[in-house]
Amino acid sequence: MFVPGCFFQPTPVRLDQSKVNSTFDHGLDLPFAQYLQRTRQMVEKTRQDLNGPDREKIVAANTPFELVPDPVLFPKEPDGKYARGVLLIHGLSDSPYHMQPIGEHLRNSGFLVRAILLPGHGTVPGDLTRVTFEAWVKAVDYGVERMKPLVDQIFIAGFSTGGSLAVYHTLVHQDVHGLLLFSPALKVKSSMAWMAPWLIYFRPWIDIEQDEDFAKYESFATNGAAQIYRLTRAIDRQVKRGDAGCRIPVFAALSYDDNTVDAGAFIDFFNTTMTHPQSRVILYSGHPLAGFAANPRVTQVNSHLNSEDGTLIVDFAHTSIPLPPEDTHYGQNGTYKNCLHYKPGSTQRDRCLGAESRVKGETSDDNLKKYDILQRLTYNPLYEEMLIQMDRFLDQE
């Protein structure tokens, strides 16, 4: 007997595992050029969106890369090494694309720049359903080890989960010279984050979307949240050991209004654990904050802005910090608009995606109640000012 509504619906291919991207199986001695080649081949074999004219753009966005400084402007040191190198680490569900602008800037400042792809990323969202944070840690360890013979000083630059991986690596190994952190995820904002490791057995997906963004998964696997929670707990354990500390210089930029990670928790961590006197934080906020004025290492920056094109920026979102307004995909006039906080097919999402949407910021409950239609901000309107502060920090070294 046929019962309406009771029929088999196959799982979209993108939500299944590719079975080639949930672990990090490369040895520490694998040449970086071979790592780049192998990872690119993996991306080309597994992605579902490479049949159109944007194939190369999509592959490039989701694969690791290397940027070498101009040898005339920045010749190698007498020991044959570059003076400084930086390893770039993207965030959860993101891709190396999110670190490309920072990487280009640092290359132009004389850094040897390398970006890795975290296991589970860059292929299909289903690969995040089985990955572990330990696999991410192995990828970071590999990136640092392969850079050691080439540079005198190693930095790690990380966005979101990439920032927490940078901190974890430093606490464990203490073999890098400095950190550059953007929206670092040392504590997840959700009070239910602790449930994620158990929720994966009952609800494998927190959100399922069409995954139309070529540089980021829009479907979000519960296991991804579980692994970032496990990573933050591992950081806490390292700190509580008593002999671990982040004693190197740290530059960080984050939004106090971040709806994904707890900015206040990072500031507490910064004050108690990141004790180097040259360390600096840029703290964006859409409203005045009390309690930070007396901290000379923390600079408050107003993020409630009126853009020249008539757009109102109410505050900065988690997603916005490392990307410039000129970015062709996520920027002020970019091709992508983040409206995932509205139900698919709803009038609100359609309006958010349309030209009438002129308010951008973080998707906090307060903002969604206050503004009829809100786009999540995907670029940093004060990006150039952030780079100036970052360069001043680096010039101290």
DSSP string, 251-262: EEEEETT-SSB-
Size of the chain in residues = 397
pLDDT at 179 over 80: yes
Query: For the chain, which residues make up each domain, given as ranges?
Result: 13-245
Lowest mean pLDDT among 141-145, 178-182, 309-313: 309-313
Q: What are phi and psi of 227, to 5 degrees?
A: -75, -35
Q: How far apart are CA 99 and CA 263, in angstroms?
A: 20
Of the pLDDT bands very low, low, confident and very high (cuts 50, 70, 90), residue 58 is: very high
Looking at the chain, the whole-number percentage of residues with pLDDT higher than 70 is 95
Which amino acid type is present at position 348?
Answer: Q
pLDDT at 20 over 70: yes
Arch. (CATH architecture) of 13-245: 3-Layer(aba) Sandwich (3.40)
Residue with tokens 């930029």: 253
Of the pLDDT bands very low, low, confident and very high (cuts 50, 70, 90), residue 293 is: low
User: What number is the average pLDDT over the span 348-356?
Assistant: 89
Q: How far apart are CA 252 and CA 157, in angstroms?
A: 10
pLDDT tens digits, 356-367: 778 999 999 999
pLDDT tens digits, 94-139: 999 999 999 999 999 999 999 999 999 999 999 999 999 999 999 9
SS3 content of the chain, % helix, strand, coil (to 5): 35, 15, 50
What lies within 8 Å, CB to CB, of 294 at 6+ separation is: none
pLDDT at 292 over 90: no
Which amino acid type is present at position 147?
Answer: M
**Average pLDDT, rounded, for the chain:** 93
pLDDT of residue 8: 38
pLDDT of residue 159: 98
**Eight-state DSSP code of residue 149:** T
Q: How far apart are CA 32 and CA 257, in angstroms?
A: 38
Of the pLDDT bands very low, low, confident and very high (cuts 50, 70, 90), residue 289 is: confident
